[in-house]
Amino acid sequence: MASKRVVLVIQARMGSARLPGKSMMDLAGAPLVGRILERVKRCRRIDEVVLAIPDTASDAVLGDLGRRYGVAVFTGPENDLVERYYQAALAFDADIVGRLPADNATPEPEEIDRIADHHRMLGRRGFSSNLTTVGDNGYPDGIGAEMFDFSLLAEARQRHSDPRRREHVHLNFFDYSTQTPVDADWCPVSTVACPPEFARPDLVLDVNTQAQYEFMRQLYEALYPKNPEFHITDILAWYDNIYRPQHPQPEPCPS
C-alpha cells in the first residue's frame, strides 16, 4: 500500500488583527515567514510544503517570499481558513493535511516529522497534534504541527458554517482551550509524548503581539548566528540561563 501523502500547509497573512505585518517582520536578517519556511524545509516526512495566503494585493509580498524560498504558494479566502486549507490540500493531492500557523516562528522539523509519522501509522482517520499541549503530552506551544485527514477536512467544510469555525480550522476537530474533541466518534484525537529533554508546556513560542515579537527577535539574534539550525534544546538553554534571569517577570504570552 502506498504511503499517504502529507502536505504541510502554512497559513500566513499580512493583516493580523493583533500584530499587522508580523509575517514580514525581521528575525536575524530575514522575514518571520522566511525563517519558518527555512526550518520546515528540513522536514523529512513531509511530501510538500505549501504557503497558503489570502488572495489579496497586500498579501502578494508573501507569495513572492514563498517562491524565493522554493515552496509552493496557494492563494485563497482571507477569513475562511477551512476553505483555504481545503482548496490548497485539493490542489496538492493531500491525503493528510498538516497545519502550521505562521505565528509559530521556531517549528522543529523532527517534531513535525514525529507527528506526521504518528498520524500515518494510526490506521484510521483522525486529528493528531503536537502543536501545543494536548492532554499531558508536555509540548511547548509552537514547535510541532497538526495532522488531519483530507476526507475529514472535506466533511468539516460541509458540517460547519459558523464564522469562528471557518476561521479557526482546529475548532472543527479539537478545542485546545477546553482540551476536548469536537466529535470523538467522527474524529478521534491523538498526540505523541514530548521528549523529556524539552517537555516544557510552560513555554510559548508564538508571535501574536509586539512583546512576543520582541522576545522572538532576541531569541533569533542570540541563537541564529551561531547555528542557523538551532534546536528547541538550544532555545531552552538560552531562555533559562540568559533571557529569564534578565527578565524575572516576563509578560505572559497568550497562546
Structure confidence at residue 252 (pLDDT): 45
Cell of 255: 497562546
Cell of 82: 477551512
Structure confidence at residue 248 (pLDDT): 73
d(CA 31, CA 37): 10
- pLDDT tens, position by position, for the chain (255 residues)? 568 999 999 999 999 888 999 999 999 999 999 999 999 999 999 999 999 999 999 999 999 999 999 999 999 999 999 999 999 999 999 999 999 999 999 999 999 999 999 999 999 999 999 999 999 999 999 999 999 999 999 999 999 889 999 999 999 999 999 999 999 999 999 999 999 999 999 999 999 999 999 999 999 999 999 999 999 999 999 999 999 999 875 444 433
Structure confidence at residue 249 (pLDDT): 58
Beta bridge partners of 72: 50
Structure confidence at residue 160 (pLDDT): 82
Quote the pTM value. Answer: 0.95
Structure confidence at residue 2 (pLDDT): 66
CA distances from 208 to 16, 48, 60, 254 (A): 8, 26, 21, 8
Task: Specify the 3-state DSSP secondary structure of 70.
Answer: coil
d(CA 82, CA 159): 11
Q: For cell 469536537, name the residue.
A: 182
In the 8-state DSSP scheme, what is residue 243? I
Structure confidence at residue 3 (pLDDT): 86
Cell of 126: 483522525
Q: By the 8 A CB rule, do 11 and 200 touch?
A: no
Could you tell me the sign of the dihedral formed by the alpha carbons of 198, 35, 103, 160, in that order?
negative
Residue ranges of domains in the chain, CATH in brackets: 6-246 (3.90.550.10)
